[in-house]
Amino acid sequence: MTKIKNTKKGMAKKTLSMSLVVAMLATSNVPVWAAEFSDDFDAAVATEAPVTEFSDNTIETPAIEEETTEAPMAQAVVESDDLSVDVSVSESAEFTGVVSVSGTINASDLDKWGIDKQTIANYDVTIKDGVATVINGTIKVPISEYTVTKNSDDTYTVAAKSTSKNYTGSKTVQAEGKAENKKPDAPMISSVKVVGNKATVILSGASEGAAGYDYVISTDRDCITNKDYDSVNKNQVQTSTTFKYVQQGTYYAYCHAWKRDKNGKKVFSDWSNAYPFVVSAITPDAPVITNVKVSGSTIKVTYKAAANATGYDVVLGTSSKKENGETRPYHYGNHKVLNLKEGTVTATFKNVPKGTWVVGMHAFNRTSEDGKKVFSPWSNLKKATVK
């Protein structure tokens, strides 16, 4: 027990001034704490706390003889987010003077003192596309503090690591998005827009979990089973696609979505609904270029007439490109001869600049509804060089 003298004979006027500062590290050793009391007085302190000051009111009491008295017992309890600080004296007393107390708190002492860990079950835990996020209020818990386990029912369990000094417990949640090996949602076709011999298939919206889409059309409603497709547009990223050169008839459109797993292999959704549509236009056959002759700056193109055609367009491109499965001239600008009449089998280009040109053409007829051109596929391509 600490002995403390009165400050002045005949006076019981005593003043207690006390402050407590505690700093604690997250590592195995926690820095010193300091406690200041009003006389030579030792107090044990547990962990971090803000500075606390106490000052009793000055009290006048009858004079007494100077004597040595026992200081009352002092107690300090510390709190941070997990702990609290409470400094108290067992009986009313006032002291003067200052005493500093220092020491080291080891991490092992924390377990002895029973510091509570936070339970993950009380936090916001989400799994999106296989990635876990644990939020404590507004603070993201480091992934080093927990493990993530995928369950057989596609739920995930997030559990604090056994070595974690801050967290305990676990929480099982349903994943958001799609698991890596889970197929995307099946798309739904909302409409098919037909213009001439073009049919544009339109989905009602994007499929959850999809990276792309494959579209097919067929005159056979059972084409999904027997794979008897009339046309296929694969690896599309948009929620619509256009089929060109669709022959006259009744068709059924289908679509399925896909994504890729960690090995790059496609994971397909179920097929969409079957959507029927009708094409009334007749698509001409593609013409065939039989000869290209260069004479100075003049290029003469000869071709065979195509079935169901009422006219032809011939162009000179600076290059070619593949588009929707067919190769066509590209960058032809003003180098074109259009609307050649049925029965004509030659096209002549004059004053052609020097260079190598790609010659191509297509046939057309016109719809009975509005007279718009209905094009054939592109012809074979030939090169011509003007020197």
Encode pLDDT of 270-292 as tens digits.
999 999 999 999 999 999 999 99
Same domain? For 134 and 90 the reply is no
Q: Is residue 184 part of a domain?
A: no
C-alpha angle with apex 35: 30 to 36, nearest 5 degrees?
160
Distances (CA, A) of 49 to 9, 76, 82, 175, 218: 37, 11, 11, 40, 76
Same domain, 221 and 198: yes
Q: Are strands 189-195 and 198-203 parallel, antiparallel or unpaired?
A: antiparallel
Cα–Cα dist 267/3, whole Å? 81
Residue pair 232/246 in contact by the 8 Å Cβ criterion: no
Cα–Cα distance for residue pair 382/176, rounded to 1 Å = 54
Q: Is residue 180 a part of any domain in this protein?
A: no
What is the DSSP code string of 84-127? --EEEESS-----S-EEE---EEHHHHHHHTPPPEEGGGSEEEE
Tens of pLDDT, residues 190-205: 999 999 999 999 999 9
Return phi, psi of residue 345, to 5°.
Answer: -130, 15
Q: What are phi and psi of 274, to 5 degrees?
A: -85, 130
Burial degree of 95 (CB within 10 A; 0-12, 13-18, 19+) = buried
The domain boundary, picked from 260, 279, 298, lies at 279
Please report whether residue 245 resides in a domain: yes
Q: Residue 268 is encoded by which pair of tokens?
A: 């397909």
- Which among 132, 136, 163 has a CA at the least distance from the CA of 149? 132
Residues 245 and 317 in one domain: no
Please tell me the predicted confidence (pLDDT) of residue 180: 60
In a domain, 223, yes or no: yes
Domain presence at residue 81: yes
In this prediction, residue 300 has a pLDDT band, given cuts at 50, 70 and 90, of very high
Structural domains of the chain, count: 4
Residue 181 counted as domain residue: no
CATH of the domain at 302: 2.60.40.10
**Cα separation, 78 vs 90, whole angstroms:** 17
The verdict on 108 and 122 lying in the same domain is no
Q: Give the number of other Cβ atoms within 10 Å of residue 21's Cβ.
A: 16
pLDDT digit string (tens) for 223-271? 999 999 999 999 999 999 999 999 999 999 999 999 988 788 999 999 9
User: Does residue 257 sit in the same domain as residue 242?
Assistant: yes
Higher pLDDT, 358 or 96: 358
223 membership: H or E segment, kind and range: helix 223-226
Identify whether 309 is part of a domain: yes
Question: Which of 113, 144, 166 is where one domain is finished?
Answer: 113
Mean pLDDT of the chain: 79
Rounded CA separation 80/116 (Å) = 11
Say if residue 260 is in the same domain as residue 295. no
* 120-156 confidence digits (pLDDT tens): 888 888 887 667 889 988 888 888 889 988 887 768 8
| pLDDT at residue 59 is higher than 90 | no
Rounded CA gap, 154 and 177, in Å? Answer: 11
Identify which has the larger pLDDT, 32 or 363: 363
SS3 at position 225:
helix
Cβ-defined contacts of 131-134 (< 8 Å, 24+): 132/156, 132/158, 134/158
Domain region containing 108? 3-113
Is the confidence at residue 41, as pLDDT, over 50? no
Same domain, 98 and 128: no
pLDDT class for 2, splitting at 50, 70, 90? very low
Q: Tell me the CA distances in angstroms from 188 to 8, 175, 219, 305, 374, one per residue in order.
A: 94, 24, 19, 42, 29
Under a CB-based contact definition with an 8 Å cutoff, are residues 18 and 74 in contact?
no
**Residues linked to residue 295 through DSSP beta bridges, in sequence order:** 298
The verdict on residue 182 lying in a domain is no
Q: Give the span between the Cα atoms of 134 and 333, in whole angstroms.
A: 58
The DSSP bridge pattern shows strands 167-168 and 118-119 to be parallel
Closest CA to 102 of 160, 61, 168, 44: 44
Q: Which two tokens stand for residue 11?
A: 């006076």
Strand partners, 312: 340, 363
> Across residues 105-114, what is the average pLDDT?
52
β-strand pairing of 155-160 with 167-168: unpaired
